[in-house]
Structure 1
Amino acid sequence: MTDRPTIRTRRLASELRLFRERATLNLDEVVAALHSSGGGRWSVAKLSRIERAAQRIKSQDLDQLLDLYEVPPERREGLQALARGARQRGWWDAYADTIHSDYTTYIRLEAEARSLRCFDGLVINGLLQTDEYTGEVCRVGMMQFGTQTAIERRIDVRRVRQRVLDDREPEPLRLWSILDEGTLRRQVGGPEVMRKQYEALLDVANLPNVMLQVLPFEAGAHAAVTGTFAIMDFADAHMPDVVYLDGLTSALYEENDRHVYHYSLAFNQLAMSAIGVDESREFIADLAGASSG
């Protein structure tokens, strides 16, 4: 499994490159200045890897660069926090043999996020899935490559992920999910699995930090006809909003402010096209009733 750079690592790398450019220094000049000040083992290759987020930076090395670039105290604190977050390990590392690095990156971001706005146009968001629903999604998605043990490990991961919604936590994740009607009507695992899934949605909709809306077929063409996406927002002022786009074999993270803004506009339009929260609960309850019959 490759160790891909996290959003924090890429953000820190970008900031360091900008500070070097503002100091009007090239890579060779930075390395020479660090050597002359007794700044440890530096090379152009090492600095280049740090600026490309191909290598995480040690605390001591970061301090040396910030001193050289004369970064003001208020900015130093934020950059040091980014570095600490990039090095921090989480519960998901225990599943490194099971989940892809793209998924690990997403889980790390989700665990740190303050809010998550998502349009679920294909399957129900993992934070809202029952074990049975997750198992069926994983079984089909992994095709012949997934063993029962691997599927059960995926279910465990989803179950632990869902703790971010626990309203007993000091700051639970605020989730706003817009569910396409087709997502809700798709029979994943059969009527009994779907009945339990509908009931689980109704239960979680009662949490004060969760809002569910249904986008009905009658809404017609909408702002997200290209597919599912999720927007994550963070309490840390140094962390930009991130849009997550899931693919069949890889994932894409959008951090560009203009692109994130476009997705935010699309989500707002979806929210206006979707039915209200109370009406959405009734819609899901009707589906649950139909599955029971």
Structure 2
Amino acid sequence: MASHVNPTVRRRRLGQELRRLRELKGMTAEAVAERLLVSQSKISRLENGRRSISQRDVRDLCGVYEVEDQRVVDSLMQMAKESRQQGWWHAFGDIPYSVYIGLETDAASVRNYESLLVPGLLQTREYAEAVIERIEPEAAPADKAKRVEVRMKRQERIHDPVSPLRFWAVVDESALHRVVGSPRIMREQLEQLIELSHRPHVTVQVLPYSVGAHPGMVGTFSLLEFADAADSSVVYLEGVTSDLYLEKHAEVQHYSVMYEHLRAQAHHPERTRQFMIELAKEYAG
């Protein structure tokens, strides 16, 4: 369930506002960095929300941008204070994709394409344990257990009775044929997918082998959208050692069009459900 104050979203929103003030002033990030005797990369990180913003940073930037309305300054200072709070995920220590978790926690909807795995938000505990065990064989048992718990905690957005996450998943057929853990785990995973697919805010579509080549072959991605118009959509691309977040309108639009093609080529949700029922029976056998 989303917390009242999300530090990741606050940082992102504050960064967007600081960029807007800089552009209104007609200054480049390099010029601002020179005025404040900091690196240009720091200004860029502050504006893209990837770095924590202190109230001192906000005060100094407002001075450079000659912001005279004290109400605006106070509002930005408050956002900076809130952006330094800790989200629920910080209790689990260093999580590689904590920025994504922060965005997902506050998102209104997520459109996800998966080529090799069942989407994390729809995984059973045993499936998640088996996946993490094989993907991170060198990790300490405690770290693997932590990753599983974080994944289960994230799923609260799906089960939130008041404001559930609108989740649309297109899953390549190969992900459901790949036996993760055991046939029993796969059967139970499929049964959970079937159950979740009946919920009005969850849609699951299988992309069959028969479509041949398709736009999703470039890799897995997620599109996150937010209820607040001030928060622009984000494309998330997960990497092995680092992740990529795309926020430019043209980039987001490109992936949105890709996703529409994938949805059009995938089985209809009803046909997908029947496909999963039949495959679950095979695993049971």
TM over 0.5: yes
Q: Give secondary structure in 2 for the equivalent of 1:225.
A: helix
**Following superposition of structure 1 onto structure 2, how do residues 214-225 of structure 1 map, counting pairs within 5 Å?**
214-225=206-217
**2:254 corresponds to 1:250:** no
What is residue 126 of structure 2 aligned with on the other side? 132
RMSD across aligned positions (CA)? 3.2
**2:149 corresponds to 1:181:** no
Q: 2:258 aligns with which of 253, 266, 269?
A: 266
Structure 1: gaps (5+ residues): 33-41
What is residue 57 of structure 1 aligned with on the other side? 53
Q: 1:164 aligns with which of 157, 172, 176?
A: 157
**2:198 corresponds to 1:201:** no
**2:102 corresponds to 1:108:** yes
Q: What is the aligned-residue identity percentage? A: 38
Q: Give secondary structure in 1 for the equivalent of 2:217.
A: coil
Divergent runs of 4+, >6 A: 26-32, 71-78
What is residue 146 of structure 2 aligned with on the other side? 153
What is residue 88 of structure 2 aligned with on the other side? 91
Q: Give secondary structure in 1 for the equivalent of 2:214.
A: coil
Provide closer, same or farther for how the CA distance between residues 27 and 189 of structure 1 changes in structure 2, counting only shifts above 3 A.
closer
Provide closer, same or farther for how the CA distance between residues 149 and 207 of structure 1 changes in structure 2, counting only shifts above 3 A.
same
Verify the 8 A CA contact 1:233 1:241 in the aligned structure 2: yes
Provide closer, same or farther for how the CA distance between residues 262 and 132 of structure 1 changes in structure 2, counting only shifts above 3 A.
same
Opposite residue 19 of structure 1, the aligned amino acid is: L
Provide closer, same or farther for how the CA distance between residues 124 and 73 of structure 1 changes in structure 2, counting only shifts above 3 A.
farther
Structure of higher CA gyration radius = 1
Opposite residue 258 of structure 1, the aligned amino acid is: A
Provide closer, same or farther for how the CA distance between residues 118 and 185 of structure 1 changes in structure 2, counting only shifts above 3 A.
same
What is residue 39 of structure 1 aligned with on the other side? none
What is residue 142 of structure 1 aligned with on the other side? 136
Opposite residue 202 of structure 1, the aligned amino acid is: I
User: How far apart, in 1, do the equivalents of 2:30 and 2:212 lie?
Assistant: 57
Verify the 8 A CA contact 1:120 1:180 in the aligned structure 2: yes
Q: 2:268 aligns with which of 269, 273, 276?
A: 276
What is residue 114 of structure 2 aligned with on the other side? 120
Opposite residue 238 of structure 1, the aligned amino acid is: A
Structure 2: gaps (5+ residues): 1-6
Provide closer, same or farther for how the CA distance between residues 77 and 227 of structure 1 changes in structure 2, counting only shifts above 3 A.
farther
User: How far apart, in 1, do the equivalents of 2:197 and 2:216 lie?
Assistant: 23
User: How far apart, in 1, do the equivalents of 2:25 and 2:39 lie?
Assistant: 19
Cα deviation for residue 220 of structure 1 reads: 1.5
